[in-house]
Amino acid sequence: MLGGPLSLRGPAVQFYLSTQIPGDTMSDRIFGLFGLALAIFFAWAALQIEESFLSDEVGPKAFPLIIATILGISSIFIALKPDAEPVWPSLGRLVEILAAIVVMILYAQFLPVAGFVIATAVAASYLTWRLGSPALSSLLIGVLTSVGIYVIFHLVLGLSLARGPLGF
Amino acid sequence: MDVLANLGDGFAVAFTLQNLGLALLGCFLGTIMGALPGLGPSNGVAILIPLAFTLGLGPTPSLILLTSVYYGAMYGGRISSILLGIPGDEPAMMTVLDGHPMAKKGMAGEALSLSGIASFVGAFIATWGLILLAPQLVKIALLFGPAEYFALFALAFATLGGVSSTNQAKSAFAAMLGLGLAMIGVDTQTGVPRFTFGEVHLYDGLDFLVAIVGLFALSEVFIFLEHRHGGSDANSGQLKLGRLTPPLSMIKQCTPTMLRTSILGFIAGVLPGAGASLGSFISYSMEKRLVDKEGTFGKGDPRGVAAPEAGNNAAAGGALVPMLALGVPGSGTTAVLLAVLLSLNITPGPLLFAQNPDVVWGLIAALFIANFMLLALNIPMVGIFTRVLMVPPRILMPIVAMVSFVGIYGISGSSFDLLVMIGFGVMGWALRKLDVPLVPIILGTLLGNTMENNLRRAITIDNGDWFTLVDSPLALTLWAIAIIGFVMPLIVGRLVRSKMHERGDEEGSITD
């Protein structure tokens, strides 16, 4: 586990690396096509820009169109000359990340409502729990993280944080 | 001596109680961030930028704080490289090769203090290099018109992938993605909204700080969640240091190595597209070729510890030269530092030296001060920093996430910005999986509007003639370097890359 830089990624991944089939390149092809679609969309959106009657020689469309062109060309290259397949997480880990994203979005929404300390304690508890802290101690870690940040950034450094109904 | 007088003024700026305190704080935090695997110089500086603002620090104090963090992180990376065999950040990758074997031989303390001294030598020489070289570069930059600036920006993007770039198409994609994101908002010249799709929040454009913190800091949290890598890599048994001073004979043996690699690292830092990782890599390779007669490199040779550390710290200083003198950063962390300057309404570049000499020379003086502080912190107090390695990521990563939220919310007080930041975090995670470099995206969002303005100004001056872009010898030279810089990695890149990535972190798209 502590052998070298690779150990940052855990045994499952190392196993995957050792079994990886060269030539498996779907991700980059899809990514390239996605990039191409993005470039076309960007070019289309650039063409929708309303020109002002007071425009300079170049206008607001030219540079975005150059960007869209290079974006498109590089996407085509990515699709045509793909790299080896990256190590994608298993479905379970993917759900894990999605769940964390949902928690963060909820945190962003509820921060002004619930106030900094409560919202942060909940979000930090969740994250540390999912990263492997035991359930009970993750509650404690979450509360300590939240209160710690509140003390350092609000009480000591005077940063204004979101206030909840309880005043903190 | 103009330089010395300026430097004197700089020290006068830096020597206030507040600034010294900030430098000390920055050095301390930076060393910790460098030491912790998963937090490098770029994301370390990134999370602290919003905080520096919301605290209402002025330009010079903020810069002093953040560059101290930058230098500190370069020092700190070696600690986990040596003790755990895991680089704390990417520039410290090469230090693992000889540092970890030394630790296994029971010479951890010597390796740490020797590398501390090497870091000091590298950074010290590089800071002098910065003083001497930056004003010369400014003289050239003063000849630049809008067309040359446009070419210079193109050069920066073309070379940013670097010699070790794995896939130039992906570097180009990233740069264009960043530039495209910068286009969002009201056009500065004609006042028409672009790519806003009727969303009022987007009229001001995306705040690049939101993008930086999302891409660098939050994506790291997702990477850790993905691997559920929550346990600490260190246990107390590994952290025995032994004697904390290197014997004089060892320093003597390493002195020529340190001097050579400092100069080499500095040059690597100044050149576009290289940065500290490459600086430490070529330093190590050169020393191995020059002095490794008995084949001891890789088995715990002190010179193999001194070389990459002097090299990467010198490169860190060298990377500041193009950032300050031209306004074009050559590495990830200096791109983040550019964001600091831009948010403070300071435009780096030749005019900075004329208009805000207090900022430039105060910063340079702060670098010297930070460097001495770091040496003082890192030799006797290295034991404290090694304790930090025992903080497991399951506790650290939530803190990183929450501090990111605090910083961004502190700037704008808007939940919308937090959502955008989460979006960037997810995007950063996906792009890192796909091996798309993140630094060009940051640079694109930072420089996009300036680049476009230069283009439009150049062409407007010449009444709509697009050939004005390649009209002067200076512009042509810049375009030529840009093209060579973009094509060269396709040819020689494979060689350098295979050597460098042998020990690389595949998800380490946050290169520096």
CA distances for B43 relative to B215, B291, B371, angstroms: 9, 36, 21
Answer whether B435 touches A (CB < 8 Å). Answer: yes
Interchain pair A49, B233: CB under 8 A: no
∠ CA(A74), CA(A76), CA(A82), 5° rounding? 90
Answer whether B253 touches A (CB < 8 Å). Answer: no
Kindly state the percentage of chain A with pLDDT values over 70. 84
Q: Choose among A42, A52, A111: nearest Cβ to B191.
A: A52
ipTM of the shown complex = 0.83
What is residue B41's predicted lDDT score, i.e. its pLDDT?
81
Comparing alpha-carbon positions, the chain B residue that sits nearest to A41 is: B195
Interchain pair B422, A101: CB under 8 A: yes
B345 burial level (CB within 10 Å; 0-12, 13-18, 19+): exposed
What is residue B239's predicted lDDT score, i.e. its pLDDT?
62
Whole-number Å distance between alpha carbons of B81 and B98:
9
Interchain pair A46, B504: CB under 8 A: no
Q: State which amino acid sits at residue B499.
A: K
Comparing alpha-carbon positions, the chain A residue that sits nearest to B417 is: A108
Q: Choose among A5, A35, A105: nearest Cβ to B503.
A: A5
Comparing alpha-carbon positions, the chain A residue that sits nearest to B466 is: A58
pLDDT tens for the 512 residues of chain B, in order: 578 888 888 888 888 888 899 999 999 988 888 888 777 788 888 888 887 877 778 888 888 888 899 888 888 888 888 888 877 777 788 888 888 888 888 888 888 889 999 999 999 999 999 999 998 888 888 888 899 999 999 988 888 766 556 688 898 999 999 999 999 998 888 888 898 888 888 888 888 889 988 998 898 889 888 887 666 666 655 666 777 778 888 888 889 999 999 999 999 888 876 667 778 888 888 888 888 888 888 888 889 899 999 998 898 889 889 888 988 887 778 888 888 888 888 888 888 888 888 888 888 898 899 999 999 888 878 888 888 888 888 888 899 899 889 888 888 788 889 999 999 999 999 998 998 888 889 889 988 998 999 999 999 888 888 888 888 899 999 999 889 888 887 777 666 666 665 544 444 444 45
pLDDT surpassing 90 at residue A156 = no
Tracing tokens 């020597």 back to the chain, one arrives at B15
pLDDT surpassing 90 at residue A1 = no
Q: Choose among B172, B228, B504: nearest Cβ to A74.
A: B172
What is residue B507's predicted lDDT score, i.e. its pLDDT?
42
Q: Quickly list H helices, B462-510.
A: 473-500
**With contact defined as beta carbons under 8 Å apart, do B319 and B275 qualify?**
yes
Of B507, B508, B502, B492, nearest to B164 by C-alpha is B492
Phi, psi (deg, nearest 5) at residue B299 = -120, 20
State the SS3 of chain A: CCCCHHHHHHHHHHHHHHHCCCCCCHHHHHHHHHHHHHHHHHHHHHHCCCCCCCCCCCCCCHHHHHHHHHHHHHHHHHHHCCCCCCCCCCHHHHHHHHHHHHHHHHHHHHHHHHCHHHHHHHHHHHHHHHCCCCHHHHHHHHHHHHHHHHHHHHHHCCCCCCCCCCCC
**If contacts are CB pairs under 8 Å, which of residues 446-465 in chain B contact chain A?**
451-452, 455-456, 459-460, 463-464
Answer whether A120 touches B (CB < 8 Å). Answer: yes
Q: DSSP secondary-structure letter at B390?
A: T
Whole-number Å distance between alpha carbons of B512 and B509:
9
**Mean of the pLDDT values across residues A20-48?**
85
Whole-number Å distance between alpha carbons of A98 and A104:
10
Residue among A63, A130, A155 with most chain B CBs within 10 A, to mutate: A63
Whole-number Å distance between alpha carbons of B87 and B93:
5
Interchain pair A93, B226: CB under 8 A: yes
What is residue B310's predicted lDDT score, i.e. its pLDDT?
92
At B360-410, the pLDDT tens digits run 888 889 889 999 999 988 887 888 888 888 888 888 889 989 988 988 888
Comparing alpha-carbon positions, the chain A residue that sits nearest to B169 is: A74
At B154-213, the pLDDT tens digits run 988 888 766 556 688 898 999 999 999 999 998 888 888 898 888 888 888 888 889 988
Q: Return the C-alpha torsion angle B128, B133, B135, B139, nearest 10.
A: 170
Answer whether B494 touches A (CB < 8 Å). Answer: no
Answer whether A133 touches B (CB < 8 Å). Answer: yes
Question: Which residues neighbour B463 within 8 Å (Cβ) at sequence distance 6 or greater?
Answer: A57
Q: What's the pTM value of the predicted model, to 2 decimals? A: 0.85
